[in-house]
Chains A and B, each alone.
Chain A
């Protein structure tokens, strides 16, 4: 036995009390680790998605939720005529009721209507099988959607009370598209009673077009009707959202440090209170105050390191489970950073929570400690 192994041994003396403290801190660490893994995963997924998008500008209804507004289809041709615009495609997005929800998309399974000749605007260049034909009840499915719905080329699928034939399956790498279906715009408009409506207009521009100017131009022409955002602006918006999650992670870390710290102080105070005589004996046999201080601090850090290990495992499990429930395609982004942060927080809690109890123990007058019943 050495001084070090004594420090390792002591936290196992009152197992129930210390286990409670460990669980408390571990939950905090788990939250930090899980949030870190999830936000990292979301960041990676969105940047991939934005890269995969084929259009330069996304035009939606002003003051509506992203993806849920309605636009007059006539605007598609009007936008095509604006200088700098190479191509514009109106897409109608509808969400059918289906029995088994599609995993792996962003949100629920959607059916998108798009003119047959504009399909390249959403970056679908090739399909396994064949493209749908104009005005028909033919449909193509994204790979994730097809897997999840257990459909293959040639199968039929019932949507909005109509039977569609699956002519092809495509993969773009964009998790939004790969979890969705595309069919002819007029077909979808007819069966959903949405004649003359689209949800989004995707705009492709010439290389020398200034996207910011074009966006401003569109919004000025259709005030309170249209909003135009470029892929990079969208990415900024998403990153802003993720930034909020990042700040939340830090706030939660601070909370975990505080709550965990209070738990450690409490646990260690009770521990030294119970061991008052023992601390008196250690002083009587010649242990310096510094050695007693170090022992209690060490025990506090051992406690929080165990919590860090438990919390990291819990955090990984929570992140994996959470993301696979939410969307099978986004996976946690494992980076050293996240784990280092978890352990640093744990050590910080151990040090901060251990200082006061350790100081108290080291200052205990030996005669009083030995008289303690």
Chain B
């Protein structure tokens, strides 16, 4: 059980017919239940790394094992995403014509719970993110922070083992961002889920158990020095 939940070895990924190197032999292990924040300059490969962990994309070479599943050989990646991963993006990415309750329910449509069980799970999470009185609102009636709470509830709804958050506070003011961050950290503890979060803000990163610096598609000690001590 002490085996890392995420094991990445020499992961490489290029885009645009090999012209752009997004990951250049990246190595990283993350323990079960850990809260890791990922920092690094724009274009260094942070989002690509998260997409690889979440099986939204496949690497050109290298190894990636997530919760015991080898993603380089796994066939049904959508099933993996549905069962193991919860994504929170910088933009909330909610579906505009669905209300809060329905948006959170969307990932459950791949599962086989009955509607009562789904409703219970969704309501529990909406209470946890403090939106129990807004369940019938559509996203355009919500504030930025509220939308991000919905996205967090949606990410957790299928009991994933890992939450991947890509700059979740990037489009919020710092006060709201702080609240969202604390919410994420608390839920990661309550739901006992591994949290990997990309952020640009050093003070945000400090809340994590560990900070990983990515530079030119690799994990870098040099990057740590460049950014200065935190």
Chain A proximity of B99: nearest CB distance (Å): 8
B37 interface residue (CB < 8 Å to A): no
Annotate B79-95 by CB proximity to A: 1 below 8 A, 0 otherwise: 11111010101010101
A288-B57 in contact (CB<8A): no
B98-A284 in contact (CB<8A): no
Contacts of B107 in A (CB 8 A): 285-287
A366-B56 in contact (CB<8A): yes
Say yes or no: A288-B115 contact (C-beta < 8 A), given A1-B102, A283-B78, A366-B57: no
The A/B interface has a contact count, at CB < 8 Å, of 76
CA distance A280 to B87 in the complex (A): 11
A9-B105 in contact (CB<8A): no
| Those of A353-373 within 8 Å (CB) of chain B | 365-367, 370
B57-A2 in contact (CB<8A): no
Contacts of A2 in B (CB 8 A): 109, 115
CA distance A290 to B141 in the complex (A): 32
B81-A284 in contact (CB<8A): yes
Interface size on A, residues (CB 8 A): 25
Chain B proximity of A272: nearest CB distance (Å): 14
Chain A proximity of B83: nearest CB distance (Å): 7
Chain B proximity of A94: nearest CB distance (Å): 68
B93-A277 in contact (CB<8A): yes
Chain A proximity of B114: nearest CB distance (Å): 11
A-B contacts besides A281-B87, A291-B110, A366-B56, 19 pairs, CB < 8 Å: A6-B102, A9-B97, A9-B98, A10-B97, A13-B96, A283-B56, A284-B87, A285-B81, A285-B82, A285-B87, A285-B106, A285-B107, A285-B154, A286-B79, A286-B82, A286-B110, A287-B110, A288-B79, A366-B51
Interface residues of B (CB under 8 A from A): 51, 54, 56-57, 76, 78-83, 85, 87, 89, 91, 93, 95-98, 101-102, 105-107, 109-110, 115, 154, 158
Interface residues of A (CB under 8 A from B): 1-3, 6, 9-10, 12-13, 277-278, 280-289, 291, 365-367, 370
Minimum-distance CB pairs A-B, first 6: A286-B82, A285-B107, A286-B81, A1-B102, A288-B78, A366-B56
